[in-house]
Structure 1
Amino acid sequence: MNDRFQDFTMTTPLEPVPESKLDLMIRRHLQCGETVLWQGRPEVTSVNNLVSRSLAAIGIAFGVLLLVGLGQLIFPALALGSGSTLVPALVFISFGAIFFWLSWLERDANWRFAITDRRLLVIRGAKLFRYALPGEVRRFRIHGNIVYWNREDSPSSDGQRRSGRFIGFRGMCDPDAMKATL
């Protein structure tokens, strides 16, 4: 793990992170006088993200095969009436590229987490993705390697709530220790 990020155990007390070790992505989002007590990022690689990028790459590769005419040999039904595979190729390449870009934004290297003396911060890329003030957090829960304090559910077409995004620190090697620290 990068030496700017602190390893911790349940017995490690939170102390201010020295200014020289403060992550630039986190520093950018601090309020005047706010002190970082812990900073981190995902320690466990997200399998979902690897699968998403792999599927996107397969879609792009298949689109390129269609574009150069090899896809028609494998799947003749994809050719249009005129025998052209240009439209299906562009569809595969476009969807693959969009899917790859979206999964690239979600990659683990883009995420930073911080515990400050005022709030909990979740940062994605250059943006403050979510934060929580002490009075807003009722309790911490664990889902896999995620320690979360909120969950954003999205409605499904049948009116039921569908499990959405967990708001918290994801990719933790020891979620129990993180929960105890929080």
Structure 2
Amino acid sequence: MSNKSKTAANSFTTMSELVLPGETNTLGNLMGGKLMYWMDIAAGIAAQKHCNTVAVTASVDNISFSNPIKLGDLLTIESKVTRSFNSSMEVHLQVWGEDLRAQHRYLSNEAYFTFVSLGANGRPYTVPEVIPETEQEIERFNGALRRRQLRLILAGKMKPEDAGELKALFV
């Protein structure tokens, strides 16, 4: 492996927090804003492990909550870079809740964040390529280009007719 590429596993990050009373709503569920804060930190760590520079949040895809994380449960966020582009990286996150007493672990949500690597001058900086190794990493790597094109279209930075990967799905 050259210094221009890294495996997806090199960026894998796990972050855990215990859900305390000040972080929950009146129903005893973790507040979404607090979860998004922790997700941003976990994704940022994965991005910086991949690029070895400062990395800043560029976009956050849809965050849907499948299962609430309850007061007293353990929250675990797993993040990993799925693919890199010129100076940006897509990071996939899975958020798990765990009732430690009942020994029950459950998926709360998944999301994709995009980060941009910045050089010492504060300008975008080229990031290493990602080498996917597992079947799941390969699947996420292959889907990343379509997700990127969709993000660019929604942000008004790409015309739909220029999104070849997306167009191929409908033609």
- Please say whether Structure 1 and Structure 2 have the same fold, judged by a TM-score greater than 0.5: no
**Greater Rg over alpha carbons, structure:** 1
Per the normalisation by structure 2, the TM-score is 0.24
Per the normalisation by structure 1, the TM-score is 0.23
Structure with higher helix content: 1
Structure with higher strand content: 2
